[in-house]
Amino acid sequence: MLSKRGLTLLAVSGILFTAGAIFGNIVFIAMSLPPFFLFVLSVVLIPPHRITGDSPEIPKKLWIGQEFVFTRKIIIDGGVGAVKIFQKLPDEMELLEGNNLKILWKWWGTETVEITCRLRCIKKGECAIPPLQWQTDNVIGTSSQGRIGEVLETIAWPRLLTPGQIKSLPSIAVTPFPLADIPRVGIPSTDFREIRGYVAGDPVKNINWKATARRQTNSPLVNEYEKEGKKAVLLFMDVTATAQAGNSLDSLLEYAIEATSNFVLYFSNRGYKVGLAINSMPPLFFYPDSGRRQTIMILPKLNQLKPDTNTVPLIEVIEAFSNNVLNFDPLSIIITSLDGDTRNALPDSLRKLKTYYSRRRRFPILMVNITARDMIPQPPDYESSIPSLMSLWARPRVRSISSSGISIANWNPKRETFRTMMSRQVKRR
């Protein structure tokens, strides 16, 4: 494609030549030659156009916060000119080290360049690294462009705790946290739960011979049945409060999802019935159930949640879930933030939730308050005390909720991991 600069050169040459022809002036005609020959030489020197590269492999599954190195090797051949290579990164990834833009001037011969970036996954969900884009320009701006490689797809999941990271012994807990509580697990009922691998000590009558024959495994498979008197945990995720803080790169909702996913996984692995209500639009309800099936059903849905200001009030979700609170007498965990704009609506929701429990000194309600103050970029000089002021501002509200018989777990994701916060909750007298 002829560039604007090339056209200007031709136009200047044409005007001078015409002037020379009209006046019969050899000087004007001579003046018309350099722009013309510069144009011809620039046309002969085409920009680099044979650009090839490899398609690197990236992990198919990533955890939020996981870092990995992304390298692409590019071979540039043919032509002379400036080469600009750009690797666009998806919103879910943050560039930690290196540069995703490479520029160079290519003379004759073949050039090999490498783009190396250290990336970190910052948001959950499906993400795709698009093909590498290149653009080349010659001296007068004649350019060509193209793409290298294929779209590389991956899925980012919230950070999940591995089993056994938080251990507890049966005793009386300071907080109504069931993992430190004395469990009331009874005898197995006749309600089928799931099929799992045989473990030493399992009754022989529970072996599912048909399933074992069908799977053709070395160890037998056994049926597992629900146990009577199982404890339940109900989770209420407040999207309204958590969606408001943070930015496109670092959102409070991401941490809320991480907390919810970990609670689901943790209690499911320990045999609790886990239910979840999310006040998104439309609201999402997962009725209390136990086993891996429940985890498999909840986690992908959480992974698809996007920040949205259009939400349902938390109190409506609590009302809709009230039957489960009355039936199971569960531990209720509310994942929210007092730094959001819903701080006035939150006490009403908590008050409503308390009415479903019998009157006692301390309700089995835990509020996980995700603090956003450290997510605010530190402005210079006099504004740098904003995080401290936010902390002081939220303090009376925290005290008021705490004095009403509700346990509060403050989690500052910028200062501690979710595991640290959980460990703090299981301390005993």
Under a CB-based contact definition with an 8 Å cutoff, are residues 85 and 111 in contact? no
Work out whether strand 232-237 and strand 273-278 pair parallel, antiparallel, or are unpaired. Answer: parallel
DSSP 373: G
Q: Rg of the chain over CA atoms, in angstroms?
A: 32
Cα 364 to Cα 285, 338, 379, 406: the distances in Å are 20, 20, 40, 7
Given the complex with another protein, which of 49 and 343 has the nearer CB atom?
A: 49
Q: 419: closest CA among 258, 267, 303, 206?
A: 258
Given the complex with another protein, which of 140 and 253 has the nearer CB atom?
A: 140
Q: 88: closest CA among 155, 135, 144?
A: 135
State how far the Cα of 143 lies from the Cα of 140, in Å rounded to an integer.
9
Given the complex with another protein, which of 139 and 152 has the nearer CB atom?
A: 139
Q: Whole-number minimum distance, CB 43 to another protein, in Å?
A: 6
Given the complex with another protein, which of 2 and 213 has the nearer CB atom?
A: 2
Given the complex with another protein, which of 2 and 182 has the nearer CB atom?
A: 2
Q: Whole-number minimum distance, CB 98 to another protein, in Å?
A: 10
Q: Whole-number minimum distance, CB 428 to another protein, in Å?
A: 52
State how far the Cα of 276 lies from the Cα of 270, in Å rounded to an integer.
16
Q: Whole-number minimum distance, CB 33 to another protein, in Å?
A: 4
Q: Whole-number minimum distance, CB 170 to another protein, in Å?
A: 57
Q: Whole-number minimum distance, CB 76 to another protein, in Å?
A: 13
Q: 210: closest CA among 200, 218, 194, 221?
A: 221
Token pair of 153 as six digits: 């797809």
Q: Whole-number minimum distance, CB 104 to another protein, in Å?
A: 6
State how far the Cα of 129 lies from the Cα of 60, in Å rounded to an integer.
12
Strand order, beta sheet including 67-77: 50-53, 67-77, 111-121, 93-98
Given the complex with another protein, which of 115 and 180 has the nearer CB atom?
A: 115
Q: Whole-number minimum distance, CB 84 to another protein, in Å?
A: 8
List contacts with another protein (CB under 8 A).
1-2, 5, 8-9, 12, 16, 22-31, 33-35, 37-38, 40-46, 80-82, 99, 101-105, 107, 139-142
Given the complex with another protein, which of 115 and 166 has the nearer CB atom?
A: 115
Given the complex with another protein, which of 76 and 166 has the nearer CB atom?
A: 76
What is the DSSP annotation of 171-198? S-BSS--GGGS------EEEEEEEEEE-
Given the complex with another protein, which of 22 and 187 has the nearer CB atom?
A: 22
Q: Which stretches of 99-238 are assigned E, i.e. beta strand?
A: 101-106, 111-121, 125-129, 132-137, 143-148, 152-157, 188-197, 221-227, 232-237
Number of Cβ within 10 Å of residue 192's Cβ equals: 11
Number of Cβ within 10 Å of residue 40's Cβ equals: 12
Q: Whole-number minimum distance, CB 130 to another protein, in Å?
A: 17
Question: Residue 343: left if φ>0, alpha if ψ -120 to 50, beta else—which one?
Answer: alpha
State how far the Cα of 202 lies from the Cα of 397, in Å rounded to an integer.
50
Given the complex with another protein, which of 44 and 204 has the nearer CB atom?
A: 44
- Let me know how long the chain is: 429
Given the complex with another protein, which of 46 and 155 has the nearer CB atom?
A: 46
Q: Whole-number minimum distance, CB 151 to another protein, in Å?
A: 23
Where do we find the tokens 């870092």? Answer: 67
Q: Whole-number minimum distance, CB 109 to another protein, in Å?
A: 14
Under a CB-based contact definition with an 8 Å cutoff, are residues 237 and 279 in contact? yes
